């Protein structure tokens, strides 16, 4: 919920812009500390969800590590203060130059997604007198029960190594002398709202952990990835995801040997509820069937609705007592998919009204583009408003 004084401070700013509530971020990190880090778990933050240096500063200070999916993210994590030994590097298609970035910086671990990638990393590491620490990304064939574009742990998906390939990898590994196998890795998808897929994942991880042990590979890292969802329908009452239940599920079901550490890679659940996209109503338009509210943010600022049919709550910030009406809230971009919500109930809207599209902290600002040569938009943090409020 955005308070009246915050609204007054925001209403003087040029729209659209991203707004981050740092109290929500702090409360989220406190909960992760209490329920996850306290259990000895290593939590890597998935930078791809949001890489704002200020946000990374809070996450780093809370004791989290980094999960990167490109050489650019590895470089960014380093420049924002993460230690090389905190960085995991995942991704189904790493270029040689990106692998070298990881090797030259002696990062903690490469999460490797295919046999060919394993051979290429071995070759590059050997040529540079390096040893690459590696976790194999295994495809556990667990259905994450989420949107098909963000399901990643099924055999039909492009990610990870399938179980049938393991015997040949076990044979190959001793010859790859520049590879040090340290772990197994999983990531079954994103915006997973039920706990059940995570329970399945624990069972599969236990089986595969046992298999590696039987084959004589001593692994110290079990990385169960990320994917924990947020409640897009209730951004205020569910501002902090239920990490007690999430980490508790792993605590209950995962079987670790004394020297093994459990790693996570969370993105959305850490930053998702902290961000809003603040936008202004440009025009209202009434057709025979529909009322449209045309706002000044579009799919160029927030693509999730167009890309995954995602539904974000929209809050009218200029509180009033006008009667409720149903609107299609749409952006200005020349694409029919540029719609935030259809038939969405809001108090009657007028030109100039300020709206907050909620739960945009993850996969929001990072996916913006300048399609239509859209102008750059600002990023505003709640602690900057203290000054604005005093004006
Ligand atoms: C995207 C991604 C994550 C983070 O996913 P969230 O749903 O944001 O928690 C973790 N690990 C890997 C390998 C990823 O690609």
Q: Confirm whether 247 is domain-assigned.
A: yes
Whether residue 9 has pLDDT greater than 90: no
Q: What is the pLDDT of residues 313-322, one digit of tens each?
A: 999 998 788 9
The answer to whether the CB of 35 is under 6 A from ligand 1 is no
In this predicted model, which residue has the larger pLDDT, 153 or 303?
A: 303
Distance 330 CA to ligand 1 centre (A): 29
Distance 152 CA to ligand 1 centre (A): 10
Q: Which atom of ligand 1 is nearest to the CA of 152?
A: 15
DSSP state of 349: P
Q: Confirm whether 15 is domain-assigned.
A: no
Distance 214 CA to ligand 1 centre (A): 29
Q: For the chain, give me the number of helices (H) and strands (E)?
A: 12, 16
Are 132 and 203 members of one domain? yes
Domain boundary among 244, 271, 298: 271
The answer to whether the CB of 68 is under 6 A from ligand 1 is no
With H, G, I as helix, E, B as strand and everything else as coil, classify residue 311: coil
**How many Å apart are CA 64 and CA 152, to the nearest integer?**
24
Domain boundary among 255, 271, 287: 271
Give residue 82's pLDDT: 98
With H, G, I as helix, E, B as strand and everything else as coil, classify residue 114: coil
Are 34 and 133 members of one domain? yes
CATH number for the domain spanning 108: value is 3.20.20.10
Contacts 24+ apart (CB under 8 A), 373-379: 374/298, 374/300, 374/301, 374/333, 377/16, 377/17, 377/18, 377/297, 377/301, 378/13, 378/14, 378/17, 378/18, 379/17, 379/18, 379/20, 379/52
Q: Supply the range of the domain harboring residue 188.
A: 24-271
The answer to whether the CB of 187 is under 6 A from ligand 1 is yes
Check: pTM over 0.75? Answer yes or no.
yes
Q: Confirm whether 229 is domain-assigned.
A: yes
Whether residue 173 has pLDDT greater than 60: yes
**How many Å apart are CA 36 and CA 368, to the nearest integer?**
31
Domain boundary among 225, 249, 271: 271
Are 102 and 233 members of one domain? yes
- Residue 150 makes CB contacts below 8 A (sequence gap 6+) with 144, 189, 190, 191, 308
**How many Å apart are CA 209 and CA 385, to the nearest integer?**
49
Are 210 and 121 members of one domain? yes
DSSP state of 75: H
Q: What is the pLDDT of residues 54-72, one digit of tens each?
A: 999 999 999 999 999 999 9
Are 230 and 349 members of one domain? no
Residues 25, 28, 34, 37, CA torsion sign: negative
Q: What is the pLDDT of residues 84-102, one digit of tens each?
A: 999 999 999 999 999 999 9
Q: Give the CA radius of gyration of the chain.
A: 23
Are 313 and 207 members of one domain? no
Distance 364 CA to ligand 1 centre (A): 14
With H, G, I as helix, E, B as strand and everything else as coil, classify residue 224: coil
Out of 136, 194, 265, 304, mutate this one to test ligand 1's pocket (max ligand atoms within 8 Å of CB): namely 265
Are 138 and 72 members of one domain? yes
Strands 17-20 and 275-286: antiparallel
Q: Confirm whether 6 is domain-assigned.
A: no
Q: Which atom of ligand 1 is nearest to the CA of 269?
A: 9
Total residue length of the chain: 391
Are 233 and 312 members of one domain? no
Q: Confirm whether 293 is domain-assigned.
A: yes
Are 54 and 160 members of one domain? yes
H-state helical runs in 108-195: 115-127, 166-172
CATH number for the domain spanning 278: value is 2.40.37.10
Overall average pLDDT of the 13-36 stretch: 97
Q: Confirm whether 291 is domain-assigned.
A: yes
Are 70 and 182 members of one domain? yes
Q: Confirm whether 219 is domain-assigned.
A: yes
The answer to whether the CB of 346 is under 6 A from ligand 1 is no
How many domains, in total, are found in the chain?
Answer: 2
The residues facing 218 across adjacent strands are none
Q: Write down the mean pLDDT value for the chain.
A: 94
Are 175 and 252 members of one domain? yes
Q: Confirm whether 161 is domain-assigned.
A: yes
Distance 376 CA to ligand 1 centre (A): 26
Class of residue 388 by CB neighbours under 10 A (exposed 0-12, middle 13-18, buried 19+): middle
């Amino acid at each position: 919920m955005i308070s009246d004084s915050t609204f007054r401070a925001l209403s003087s700013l040029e729209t659209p812009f991203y707004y981050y509530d740092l109290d929500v971020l702090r409360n989220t990190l406190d909960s992760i500390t209490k329920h996850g880090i306290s259990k000895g778990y290593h939590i890597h933050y998935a930078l791809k969800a949001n890489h704002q240096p200020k946000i990374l500063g809070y996450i780093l200070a809370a004791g989290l590590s980094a999960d990167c999916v490109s050489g650019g993210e590895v470089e960014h994590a380093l420049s924002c203060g993460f230690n090389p030994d905190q960085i995991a590097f995942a991704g189904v298609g790493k270029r040689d130059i990106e692998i070298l970035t990881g090797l030259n910086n002696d990062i903690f671990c490469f999460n490797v997604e295919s046999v060919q990638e394993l051979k290429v990393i071995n070759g590059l590491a050997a040529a540079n007198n390096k040893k690459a620490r590696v976790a194999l990304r295994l495809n556990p064939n667990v259905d994450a029960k989420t949107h098909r574009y963000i399901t990643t742990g099924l055999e039909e998906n492009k990610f990870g190594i399938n179980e049938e390939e393991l015997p040949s990898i076990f044979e190959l590994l001793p010859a790859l002398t520049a590879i040090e196998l340290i772990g197994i890795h999983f990531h079954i998808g994103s915006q997973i709202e039920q706990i059940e897929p995570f329970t399945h994942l624990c069972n599969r991880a236990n089986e595969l952990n046992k298999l590696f042990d039987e084959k004589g590979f001593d692994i110290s890292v079990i990385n169960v990835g990320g994917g924990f969802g947020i409640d897009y329908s209730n951004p205020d009452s569910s501002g902090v995801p239920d990490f007690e239940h999430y980490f508790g599920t792993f605590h209950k079901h995962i079987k670790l040997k004394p020297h093994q550490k459990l790693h996570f890679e969370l993105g959305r659940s850490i930053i998702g509820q902290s961000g809003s996209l603040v936008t202004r109503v440009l025009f209202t338009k009434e057709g025979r069937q529909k009322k449209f509210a045309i706002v000044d943010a579009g799919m160029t600022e927030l693509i999730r609705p167009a890309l995954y049919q995602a539904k974000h709550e929209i809050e009218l910030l200029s509180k009033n007592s006008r009667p409720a009406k149903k609107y299609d809230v749409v952006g200005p971009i020349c694409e029919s998919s540029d719609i935030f919500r259809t038939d969405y109930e809001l108090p009657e809207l007028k030109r100039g009204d300020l709206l907050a599209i909620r739960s945009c902290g993850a996969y929001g600002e990072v996916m913006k583009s300048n399609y239509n040569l859209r102008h750059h938009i600002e990023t505003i943090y709640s602690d900057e408003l203290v000054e604005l409020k005093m004006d």
